Each structure stands twice: as C-alpha cells, then as structure tokens.
Structure 1
Amino acid sequence: MEIAVVGRHTEVTDRFRRHVEDKLAKVTQLAPHARRVDVEVTHEKNPKLADVSERVELTVRSKGPVIRAEAAADDRFGALDLALDKLNERLRRSRDRRKDHRRRGEDIVPAVDVRPYDGSAEAQPEPEPATLNEPGDAVEHQLGDSPVLIRQKLHRGEPMTTDEAVERMELVGHDFFLYIDKASARPAAVYRRRGWTYGVIELDATCSGAAPVSDLT
C-alpha cells in the first residue's frame, strides 16, 4: 500500500513521514484492498486559530468507496491521531457494510471521489484545464476583481439510491453529497440537517437550456 504525504503551505519533516507510515501500517487490516493513502498536512498561520493550527486529512483509495477523515489540533501529531480514529471508524463501517451486502447478495456501490473545494488553504499551483470535459478536470477563476476564488471540478455521476448516497457522504465526512438518483435518473444532492436527519434536493433537468439527464449520467 502506497502512502503519500504532502504539505500545504508547510514543510513535512522526515520524522513526521516515518510516524505517519508507522501509524497507517494497520489500515490494511480494515481495508485489505487499499491501494493508496493520501495524507495532507495544512498549517494555519492565523494566531487566533492556534488550537487548531495543524490539520491532517487522510484519504484511503481502494476498489470500494473513497473514505476520508480529517482533524485539527495544536500539533500535527495530535491531529493525525484524531483523524486516524475517525478514519478507522469509517473503515469499520465500510467493511461491515460490505459484509452485509455479501449476505444479501448485493453489489458494492462503485467508487466516487468527491472533494469539495476548501478555501482555508491553497495547494501548490498546478496547470489546470481550460474546460471541464473529463471527470477529474478542474478549473479556477477569480470573481471579477474581488479576492474570491471559485474552483470548479467535474465528477462522474453514479446512479444510486438515497440510502447509498447518505452512506457515501458519511464515509467521506462531508455535509453534502451529489449523485444521480437511481429511481428518477435526476441529479440530486443529499445533505446533513440537525442531528441524524438528512435532506434531499433533486434537480429538474428538463427546464429550458438544461442538458439532458442522459448527458449527466
């Protein structure tokens, strides 16, 4: 299993890299098919956020759903421990869900990599495609003369049920998840409300000027 450690606006020492490798060695026990774990370390320079100045994000990529967890603390070693606790819990849930699907003879939902833009820190600049033609393409532009930066990214829509979308959202630790509703074939978004309640918004793609739903799936 490959482990890739990168820093955003911060240097990552060899000592921390070795610590990460030791900590993540047991990931394969919960995710035996994991091919890669991405570890992203972000440093927040604002002194008012000293208690959460170090953020660590862990992303497990395998044949199944992408599973992600992140945490922040006053040092990156503590943030790693907190993020790893969250990751292990989500890996256990994913493993138990696969077992349940095998018992019921259902297929595992195909993987979707969903990563909303996080404006808290900028990655090192990389060449971006001018247009969004293929899944994974991304483009950034400023809103007029303002400092607002807008990032657009194209993802491949996967038909799934609302229950599957909620489960996928929980596995990546986000507050919303975009998908194609399997029953209606319409673009939809499930989002977190208060407590253990969720909301679903479906998009009417039949309005004038909209692309056919078949082009979105």
Structure 2
Amino acid sequence: MNLTISGHHLEVTPAIREYVQNKLERITRHFDHVIDTHVFLAIDNLTEKEKRQKAEINLSVSGKKLHVASAAQDLYAAIDTLMDRLDRQVLKHKSMLQDHNHVAHKRMPDNGEAAAAA
C-alpha cells in the first residue's frame, strides 16, 4: 500500500503521521486489497471556530476509489471521524464484492413446486 500524507497550512509532524498510520491499520485489517492511499490534512482560517480542522482521504481499492472527508475542532478528532467513515465504506465495498454469489432465478424453486413436494 502506498501512503501519502500531505498538509495544507499545516506541518505534518511524525506524531500525526504515526497516528494516521495506526488508524489505517484497522482499514487494512478489514480489507487488504488497498492499492494507494492519499491523506490530506488542512487547517482553514475561518471565522467559525468549531470546524477548522479538516481531514480527507482518497483510497484506491481494486476497481474503485473511495473518498471520505471530515471536519472537527481538533485534528485528531477529525482523523478519528474520518477513519470511522472510511471503515464503514470499506466494509460496505467488501460485502458488495462478496454478495455476487446469489442463486439464479431459473434455479430457484417455484412456490407451486415447493408445495407439491411437501
């Protein structure tokens, strides 16, 4: 997995980099076919003080690109929210990949045949 962490109006410290990598381990534990990951961290200079810290991630998996964004007052809280949302999307993508093994309609028993057999 290629990991790129970049910051806008923010210096990406080793502590932030390690925090993001530890949170991404949960994603790779659930789905190990991750190809590329781009994490974008930013601080907006807005008058609204509540949501100044933003975190975004673009995750490339086999056949699809997942994008998640979150904003919070604290950068670590924004990263936590981001990883929770990303985890839900990855699990949904994984279940969609696994649910393709359904029974064809012509192979399913008809209600009349099932009643006659009983």
1:45 equivalenced with 2:54 (yes/no): no
Specify the alignment match of 1:154 in structure 2: none
Which secondary structure does the structure 2 equivalent of 1:26 belong to? helix
Q: Which runs of 5+ in 1 are unaligned?
A: 106-217
Q: Deviations over 1:28-53 (max 9, x none)?
A: 1222110121110011112x222110
Q: Which runs of 5+ in 2 are unaligned?
A: 104-118
1:75 equivalenced with 2:110 (yes/no): no
State percent identity of aligned pairs. Answer: 23
Q: Which has the higher helix share?
A: 2
1:54 equivalenced with 2:23 (yes/no): no
Which one-letter code corresponds to 2:12 in the other structure?
V
Map residues 25-36 of structure 1 onto 2, 5 A cutoff: 25-36=25-36
The structure that has the greater radius of gyration is 2
Which one-letter code corresponds to 1:65 in the other structure?
K
TM-score between the two structures when normalised by the length of structure 2:
0.80
Which secondary structure does the structure 2 equivalent of 1:50 belong to? coil
Map residues 86-165 of structure 1 onto 2, 5 A cutoff: 86-101=85-100, 103-104=101-102
Which one-letter code corresponds to 2:7 in the other structure?
G
Specify the alignment match of 1:24 in structure 2: 24
Structure 2: how far apart are the matches of 1:64 and 1:20? 24
Specify the alignment match of 1:13 in structure 2: 13
Higher RCO (Cα < 8 Å, 6 or more apart)? 2
Question: Runs of 4 or more off by more than 3 Å in structure 1?
Answer: none
CA drift at 1:75: 1.3
CA drift at 1:5: 0.4
Q: Deviations over 1:157-177 (max 9, x none)?
A: xxxxxxxxxxxxxxxxxxxxx
Structure 2: how far apart are the matches of 1:3 and 1:27? 13
Specify the alignment match of 2:109 in structure 1: none
CA drift at 1:25: 1.2
- For these two proteins, the number of residue pairs brought into alignment is 103
Structure 2: how far apart are the matches of 1:96 and 1:104? 13
Q: Deviations over 1:140-198 (max 9, x none)?
A: xxxxxxxxxxxxxxxxxxxxxxxxxxxxxxxxxxxxxxxxxxxxxxxxxxxxxxxxxxx
